Amino acid sequence: QVQLVESGGGSVQAEGSLRLSCVASAYSWCMAWFRQAPGKEREGVAYITRGGTTRYADSVKGRFTISQDNAKNTMYLQMSSLKPEDTAMYYCALFRNSWCPDGPSAYNYWGQGTQVTVSS
């Protein structure tokens, strides 16, 4: 019954920026961004608990910033200094617990995804 809707994806040149948004119909203790490129496993990008604790994949640390507006049930991913390697489908996910697992298997709800394409 929980609905997640991502937006903000698109095509951008290397070194450019994009801001992704995820609006949820309900809020869990953990929200996260995952991404999946063709032929690759789905990987965690950034995680945030309801209390604001954040964690990032090494590949995006220093370039991406995750944030949230609890009153609006909305999560954001500000992506800067984008690289072609960031090209993937990006998914918003919820986990109904107080921590954020690294892998995707535990997450309970998923959005439909928003495509990010970074050209060289």
pLDDT tens, residue by residue, 14-26: 999 999 999 998 7
**Complete DSSP assignment for 30-75:** EEEEEEE-TTS--EEEEEEETT--EEE-TTTTTTEEEEEEGGGTEE
Residue 59 has what pLDDT? 97
* Whether pLDDT at 87 is above 90: yes
Q: What CA–CA distance (Å, rounded) separates 31 from 52?
A: 10
Q: Is 103 exposed, middle or buried (0-12, 13-18, 19+ CB in 10 A)?
A: exposed
Q: What share of the chain is helix, strand, coil (3-state, %, to 5)?
A: 5, 50, 45
| Separation CA 53–CA 48 (nearest Å) | 5
Q: Distance between CA 26 and CA 49 in Å, rounded?
A: 14
Average pLDDT over residues 44-60: 95
- The pLDDT assigned to 60 comes to 98
The pLDDT of residue 73 is: 87
Can you tell me the distance from the alpha carbon of 93 to that of 109, in angstroms, rounded to the nearest whole number? 6
- 70 — pLDDT class (breaks 50, 70, 90): confident
Q: Average pLDDT for residues 72-80, to the nearest whole number?
A: 94
